[in-house]
């Protein structure tokens, strides 16, 4: 039996929750997170929602404000059907990268589970959103909610003015290109015309200062009979003026399409901004979920050690935690790949171990952090400065490779069998770590499709190029359907050439006029 004094120290008792308990638990967890883990978070806005509201949030990509589109309704009906049949559960919480950080809690959760997900979302995810360099570089947490409010009302006005069918056609085409509607790398600002003239003046002055008359005595370079300097110069100047090649298809179409009306361009821009907002989340799933799981596990155990959570509540918390980090075996029907919660948590706990109790092997592999003692600094630095690919490449240890029993399979397309290329031994650790990290590099796994040329004063034929890696071509039916959407936004012929990334040879070319 729990003594009366012990019971008075508990943050809560029983499974029922109310808003006073939620507020008290959040205040305690926040103070502990700032004290123990030195977290830096946005202000938190917590909302309790029903299962139907959670399904609605699923359908609108987790955003509290979203414009209307038939795909959201389709997603809602699909998720609702699986949920009602018991084939799929719902998330215990949903968190939005905004300032203030909005955290949705399911009303069906028990009080112990509310405490767990509060630590997970309101502290863990919140800190990661605010401090990771990808989110700081690509997203505007303070402005996203107001922008979504604008987008929702703007598209509603367009539907009233131009009709549902016209707006839906633009949204369909823009949604089809969302994967190719992001900037993958941060770009310096484009030079103004005055800055370009200043650069030209400086180059001319440098040429005058460095001129040497002896250079004219050298024989002229040999010219190939196959080149056409005039045509090449025109193409080069045309590409330069359009800033080609361009990786962001939606951006190029928004800025250069000759058939889009202003309201259509704005809709394309709305879809592009939303796609860019979610791009960092696709690059940091292991780190984001690992950070949140590490935070909730550490804080819940600390609260229990301090006598603020009862044994019964802690058992419930550990049961739910175990469900989250469960990693099915490869031959388990539930296996769908590596669980990002499990891998992220294991790597962060391994960093904690290496910092406090390193082995000789750890000192060889991680001389900068082994034995330093202050694992918090290492984790805070990793959460701020890495994405999944770089985090795994730098911090996956041989001990963890052995624990997960990782190995590398070589699967050449022309070979009838798989070959085990690397195992968890002294020679294989670096290769396994590199191979796993590469699998999380979305720049390497997503198709590289760019706009390479278009003559706006000629036939206006838009030329796209797909750089093929490891012989992996685009699936034909989806490729053709997507090309039709590109043509819908461009208004003229579009072609897609598949170019071998290694040799530069053309593998295939597809035109919209052939579809």
Q: Is 502 helix (H, G, I), strand (E, B) or coil?
A: coil
Identify the pLDDT of residue 216: 61
Around Cβ 465, how many Cβ atoms within 10 Å?
Answer: 19
How far, CA to CA in Å, does 154 sit from each of 98, 162, 189, 474?
A: 21, 12, 28, 35
Handedness of CA 59, 65, 66, 68 (dihedral sign): positive
Binning pLDDT at 50, 70 and 90, where does residue 225 land? Answer: very low
Burial of 416 per CB tally in 10 Å (0-12, 13-18, 19+): exposed
pLDDT at 103 (0 to 100): 93
More confident residue, 197 or 321: 321
pLDDT greater than 50 at residue 254: yes
Q: Does the pLDDT value for residue 498 go beyond 50?
A: yes
Instruction: Look at 37 and 87; give whichever has higher pLDDT.
Output: 37
Q: Which two tokens stand for residue 60?
A: 């609108």
What is the spatial distance between Cα 431 and Cα 349, in angstroms, rounded to a whole number?
22
Q: Kindly state the DSSP code that residue 122 receives in the 8-state scheme.
A: I
Q: Which token pair is 153?
A: 């009302």
Rg over alpha carbons for the chain, rounded to the nearest Å, is 28
Instruction: Cite the DSSP H helix spans in 163-219.
Output: 164-176, 193-209
Residues 506, 512 contacting (CB under 8 angstroms):
no
Give the pTM: 0.87
Length of the chain equals 515
Per the DSSP assignment, residues forming a β-bridge with 511 are: 495
Q: What is the pLDDT of residue 190?
A: 59
Residue 242 and residue 246: Cα distance in Å, rounded?
9
Report the alpha-carbon distance of residue 98 to residue 173 in Å, rounded: 27
pLDDT of residue 118 exceeding 60, the answer is yes
Instruction: Name residues whose C-beta falls within 8 Å of residue 357's C-beta, 6 or more positions apart in sequence.
Output: none
Give dist(CA 80, CA 202) in Å, integer.
64
d(CA 198, CA 44): 48
**Nearest CA-CA partner of 384 in 130, 187, 138:** 130
3 state DSSP class of 469: coil
408 φ, ψ to 5°? -110, 130
pLDDT of 135 > 90? The answer is yes
Phi, psi values for residue 463, rounded to 5°: -105, 120
pLDDT at residue number 75: 84
pLDDT for 386: 96
Spell out the residues 6+ positions from residue 419 whose beta carbon is closer than 8 angstroms to its own: 409, 410, 411, 412
The answer to whether the bond into 100 is cis (omega within 30° of 0) is yes
Q: How confident is the model at residue 213 (pLDDT cuts 50, 70, 90)?
A: low
What is the model's pLDDT at position 193? 59
Diameter of the chain measured on Cα atoms: 101
Higher pLDDT, 480 or 208: 480
pLDDT digit string, tens, across residues 29-81: 999 999 999 999 999 999 998 888 888 877 777 777 788 888 888 888 888 88
Q: How far is CA 240 from CA 111, 196, 235, 236, 245, in A?
A: 60, 13, 8, 6, 9
The better pLDDT of the pair 429, 420 is held by: 429
The sign of the torsion formed by the CA atoms of 114, 117, 119, 121 equals negative
């Amino acid at each position: 039996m729990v003594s009366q004094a012990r019971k008075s120290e508990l943050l809560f008792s029983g499974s029922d929750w109310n808003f006073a308990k939620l507020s008290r638990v959040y205040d305690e967890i926040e103070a502990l997170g700032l004290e123990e883990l030195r977290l830096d978070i946005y202000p938190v806005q917590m909302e309790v929602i029903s299962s139907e509201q959670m399904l609605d949030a699923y359908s609108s990509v987790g955003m509290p404000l979203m414009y209307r589109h038939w795909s959201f309704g389709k997603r809602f009906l699909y998720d609702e059907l699986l949920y009602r049949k018991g084939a799929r559960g719902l998330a215990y919480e949903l968190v939005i990268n905004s300032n203030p950080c909005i955290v949705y809690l399911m009303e069906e959760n028990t009080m112990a589970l509310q405490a767990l997900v509060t630590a997970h979302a309101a502290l863990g995810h919140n800190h990661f959103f605010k401090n990771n360099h990808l989110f700081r570089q690509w997203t505007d947490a303070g402005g996203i909610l107001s922008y979504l409010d604008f987008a929702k009302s703007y598209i509603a006005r367009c539907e009233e003015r131009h009709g549902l069918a016209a707006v839906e056609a633009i949204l369909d085409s823009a949604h089809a290109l969302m994967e190719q509607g992001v900037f993958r790398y941060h770009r310096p600002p484009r030079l103004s015309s005055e800055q370009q003239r200043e650069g030209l003046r400086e180059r001319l002055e440098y040429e005058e200062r460095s001129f040497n008359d002896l250079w004219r005595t050298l024989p002229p370079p040999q010219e190939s009979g196959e080149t056409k300097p005039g045509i090449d110069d025109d193409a080069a100047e045309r590409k330069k003026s359009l800033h080609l090649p361009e990786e962001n298809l939606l951006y190029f179409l928004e800025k250069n399409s000759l058939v889009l009306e202003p309201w259509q361009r704005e809709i394309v821009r709305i879809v592009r901004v939303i796609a860019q907002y979610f791009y960092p989340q696709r690059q940091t799933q292991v780190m984001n979920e690992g950070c949140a799981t590490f935070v909730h596990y550490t804080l819940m155990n600390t609260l229990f050690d301090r006598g603020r959570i009862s044994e019964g509540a802690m058992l419930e918390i550990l049961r739910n935690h175990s469900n989250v980090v469960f990693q099915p075996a490869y031959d388990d029907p539930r296996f769908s790949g590596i669980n990002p919660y499990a891998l992220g948590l294991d790597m962060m706990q391994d960093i904690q171990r290496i910092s406090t109790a390193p082995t000789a092997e750890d000192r060889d592999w991680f001389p900068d952090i082994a034995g330093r003692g202050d694992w918090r600094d290492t984790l805070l630095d990793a959460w701020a400065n890495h994405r999944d690919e770089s985090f795994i490449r730098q911090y996956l240890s041989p001990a963890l490779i052995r624990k997960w029993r990782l190995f590398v399979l070589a699967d050449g397309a022309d070979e009838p069998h798989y070959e085990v290329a690397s195992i968890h031994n002294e020679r294989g650790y670096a290769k396994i770590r590199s191979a796993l990290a590469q699998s999380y590099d979305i720049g390497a796994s997503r198709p590289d499709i760019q706009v390479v040329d278009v003559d706006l004063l000629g036939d206006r034929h838009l030329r796209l190029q797909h750089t093929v890696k490891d012989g992996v071509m685009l699936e034909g039916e989806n490729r053709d359907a997507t090309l039709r959407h590109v043509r819908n936004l461009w208004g003229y012929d579009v072609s897609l050439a598949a170019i071998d990334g290694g040799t530069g040879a053309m593998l295939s070319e597809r035109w919209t006029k052939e579809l």
